[in-house]
Amino acid sequence: MARIARSRPRALTFWRRFAKGENHTRSRPAPYCPDRNPAAAIHHHALLAYTARMKMRCIRVLAILLTLAACTSTPPVPESSTAPALQRPAANEKGNEVALFALGLIDTGYRFGGKNPEAGLDCSGMVAYIFGQAAGLKVSGSAADIARKGQPIGRGDLRPGDLVFFNTRNAPLSHVGVYIGDDRFVHAPSSTGRVRIDRLNAGYFAARFETARTYFD
């Protein structure tokens, strides 16, 4: 009974509105239909066009930012096509042995074609004997032959035990000596008949120096 009593005011209100011709249904927004609402259609298309323009603007801004980032970034340094020259070690153990052994032959007598200290040594025979005894390397032939078998090096790269070559008989690579450091070398010249030390920058040998070789690199 209480529920019926509470519903009566609502019923009376409904019938009163109905009698007056009022709309008793709740008002709802009309569904969007561009064909039936031209103004809404114009607004809708304008909104779509604005959204498209904003998207394109964002894309352009992003592209500009990426371009600026690429321009301001530090480009990678290309690798050099040529490898840097390798630095030779300051000394070589076998080269040092060769230089010390050569010093032990100072004042040994000269002999053309000689290959041992007892019989005498010439320049190429002295080099062959020293390398065989001190370094265990077989080096033979004339001074020119020894030069052809060695590794070419610059004068500034000379190390103890390397070989220096001269033109002393109006013939290329006609004389050879063992470099011992400090711009000096040991050789067996025929002029004095003895193994001795000379300097590369001395007038006679400086003018006749041709090239240098190594057997240790």
* Given 24, 58, 71, 175, the catalytic residue: 175
Residue 175 is among the residues annotated as catalytic for this protein: yes
Torsion angle of C-alpha atoms 183, 184, 188, 193, degrees rounded to 10: 120
List, in order, residues 6 or more apart from 123 with CB less than 8 Å away: 143, 175, 176, 177, 187, 188, 189
16 and 24 in contact (C-beta within 8 Å)?
A: no
Taking the C-alpha atoms of residue 99 and residue 189, their distance in angstroms, rounded to an integer, is 17
Residue 71 is among the residues annotated as catalytic for this protein: no
Of 197, 191, 175, 183, give the one whose Cα is nearest residue 125: 175
* Given 24, 43, 45, 187, the catalytic residue: 187
Residues facing residue 110 across a β-bridge: 121
* Given 33, 44, 58, 123, the catalytic residue: 123
Residue 33 is among the residues annotated as catalytic for this protein: no
Bridge-based pairing state of the strands 209-214 and 163-166? antiparallel
Residue 212 φ then ψ, to 5°: -135, 150
Residue 173's region, left for phi above 0, alpha for psi from -120 to 50, else beta, is left
Of 216, 217, 181, give the one whose Cα is nearest residue 86: 217
137-158 burial by CB neighbour count: b if 16+ within 10 A, else e?
A: eebeeebbebbeebeebeeeeb
- Residues with active-site annotation: 123, 175, 187
